[in-house]
Structure 1
Amino acid sequence: MFKNLSDFIKWLGDHFKGMLFLLILLIVFMPTSESKLKPANLQEIRLTGPIMDADKVLKEIDKAKKDNDIKGVLFNVNSPGGAVPPSIEICHAIKELKEKKPVIAYASGIMASGSYYASIYANKIIANPGSIVGSIGVIMEAPNLRELMEKVGVGTQVVKAGEYKEAGTPTREWTPKEREELERLTKDTYELFVSDVAKARGLDVNNSSAYADAHIFSSKRAKETGLIDEIATKSRAKEEITSLAKVKNPIWKEKDKLESFFEELSSKSILKLQSYFYGLKSTVF
């Protein structure tokens, strides 16, 4: 049909939009099984990739909380963490959800830093045998671009009010007072993190060096330190939430097909980037 590779590439480019449109139509109008006619009673909510914004996950949690048909939630986590405020937002949303219905947090890959913070108030935390858990710590960093800027011939002009207004600037080395201010902020955030983990997991805050200090644990060591409750696969996590929710005939909620298609496409791209960058970081440990 195609004389050479260039003809095939040209044909693919000319017909790609049409093929994509037909694929979307197929997904939207694909017949559903009879079981889907019954209302779902269990739901899986995923936290995937770096946490930079919590709106999407918070919306899903809120819907699950208000849906009387949903009796329990599996919170599936595969994230290296991220920004502090959205991680805390998800943490408290899960806490509020648990007051209405049981929640199992499942570490399907990485449950570290902010994503562990987000999971601490679940009824139970179950981790895949090969998962990575922990990294209870806080980091603040910025490059020092002064020498590079001098070589390029770029300077800065600053007008400020307040001694610490320029703290964290990347254009020069921080002053001792600025570093002290940033260290205080980092320490305050770290102490909040450790305090919340200790409270949620029933751990001794005075022994935080055993489970915090940004230690990165295998699932086995995470269980030994009390960060998780059980080591098992996803099927076991599903069994546990079914039991806690007292559901006899589990029917899992499915997302809209079109939304699910694009979300899956996006998630795979994010996870590929995540695995690449995490792989680079892991050589440091």
Structure 2
Amino acid sequence: MKIFTPIIAVLECITKYFKAFVFILIVIILLISINPPAQQPNLAKIQLKGMILDSSMLRAQIDELHQYPSLKGVLLVVNSPGGAVGASVEISDLIKELAEKLPVVVHTEGVMASGAYYASIGASKIYANRGALIGSIGVIFSGANIKPLLDKIGYEPQTIAAGEYKEIGTYYRDWSAKERTFIQNLIKEEYNTFITDVANARKLDLANAQQFAEGKIFNATKAKELGLIDDILSRNQAIAQLKILSGVEKEEWLEKSSWQSYIDSALESSLSSVFSALFGVGLQ
């Protein structure tokens, strides 16, 4: 079967030199990060998209901005349904810290819900286009009880645990009344932190939390009326506002190399689609 000889040769080459390929790839990425392109940008765009699982992607984008002291303002593009509590809070703090140094304008043309909204409240301004959905300010703890299924297949888990609540939220049995009460109190505490941070950041009356929170999702018009966003603007209009805030007349955007753009895109999409239905505590 000589017809397969070239294919076999290629596979053997990849197998033989796989470690070398990986090493070269790592070196290229390091060189790109260590030696940024010779630019003098005054504006930059960063993105928060998909499920929020951790803060590493957003942190990496912000860390890159620090390499360009010429920057005067940042546009944060958001399209996310939310995600993990801790990661959303961490990103919110990162955005707030960045906004203390230079103007940060958030814009969404899709969804800015729950943890994604939490992540955005530290920005200088929040804008959305006419078709965007905003809000869903709430906390959820979800799980599954697969005991009936396990009973059918004759599988019985065995667990040894120390601590009355150590098995809380497990999937192979019913939750006890005490466990449900404990989880409910925990979620209430997280929820109170969420609405308090939103009220403080957006200068809203916490006593009116039932109007702007409670897990409700709003269109842009209602979100503006409630004070969750500053205005209803297109992307170009949001950029115009960013230029005013940053004092930039002629924008010079930070440009990423095609390789960097490819890496960002690959990392951004690799986990979001897989873990879109995660169990556990989340701002969703």
Per the shorter chain, which TM-score range?
Answer: 0.7 to 0.9
Separation of aligned partners in 2, 1:203 and 1:65: 32
1:52-131 residue pairs with structure 2 within 5 A? 52-65=53-66, 67-131=68-132
Separation of aligned partners in 1, 2:119 and 2:236: 22
Q: What is the aligned partner in structure 2 of residue 47 from structure 1?
A: 48
Aligned-residue offset at 1:67:
3.2
1:1-285 residue pairs with structure 2 within 5 A? 38-65=39-66, 67-264=68-265, 273=273
Separation of aligned partners in 2, 1:61 and 1:263: 13
Separation of aligned partners in 2, 1:228 and 1:182: 31
Instruction: Summarize deviations over 1:48-106 as a string: whole Å, max 9, x none.
Output: 10000111211222332563211100011000100001110110111111110000011
Alpha carbons of structure 1 residues 154 and 184: separation in structure 2 relative to 1, 3 Å:
same
What amino acid sits opposite 2:214 in the alignment?
D
Alpha carbons of structure 1 residues 265 and 165: separation in structure 2 relative to 1, 3 Å:
closer
Aligned-residue offset at 1:269:
7.7
Separation of aligned partners in 2, 1:65 and 1:210: 39
What amino acid sits opposite 1:60 in the alignment?
Q
Aligned-residue offset at 1:254:
1.3
Separation of aligned partners in 2, 1:37 and 1:150: 64
Instruction: Summarize deviations over 1:23-71 as a string: whole Å, max 9, x none.
Output: xxxxxxxxxxxxx965111000000100001112112223325632111
Q: Secondary structure at the match of 1:235?
A: helix
Aligned-residue offset at 1:160:
1.2
What amino acid sits opposite 2:179 in the alignment?
E
Separation of aligned partners in 1, 2:270 and 2:179: 38
Q: Secondary structure at the match of 1:140?
A: strand
Q: Secondary structure at the match of 2:250?
A: coil
Contact 2:104-2:124 at 8 Å conserved across structures: yes
Count of matched residue pairs: 249
- The structure whose RCO (Cα within 8 Å, separation 6+) is larger is 2
Contact 2:195-2:213 at 8 Å conserved across structures: yes
Identity %: 43
Contact 1:65-1:97 at 8 Å conserved across structures: no
**Which 5+ residue runs of structure 1 have no aligned equivalent?**
1-13, 15-35, 278-285
Contact 1:110-1:131 at 8 Å conserved across structures: yes
Q: Secondary structure at the match of 2:77?
A: strand
With the length of structure 2 as denominator, give the TM-score of the two structures: 0.80
Contact 1:138-1:186 at 8 Å conserved across structures: yes
Alpha carbons of structure 1 residues 268 and 84: separation in structure 2 relative to 1, 3 Å:
closer
Contact 2:39-2:254 at 8 Å conserved across structures: no
Contact 1:168-1:174 at 8 Å conserved across structures: yes
CA RMSD of aligned residues (A): 2.8
Contact 1:142-1:170 at 8 Å conserved across structures: yes
Q: Secondary structure at the match of 1:121?
A: coil
Contact 2:98-2:104 at 8 Å conserved across structures: yes
What amino acid sits opposite 2:73 in the alignment?
G
Aligned-residue offset at 1:267:
5.2
With the length of structure 1 as denominator, give the TM-score of the two structures: 0.80
Separation of aligned partners in 1, 2:67 and 2:187: 36
Aligned-residue offset at 1:107:
1.3
Separation of aligned partners in 2, 1:98 and 1:184: 33
Separation of aligned partners in 2, 1:71 and 1:237: 15
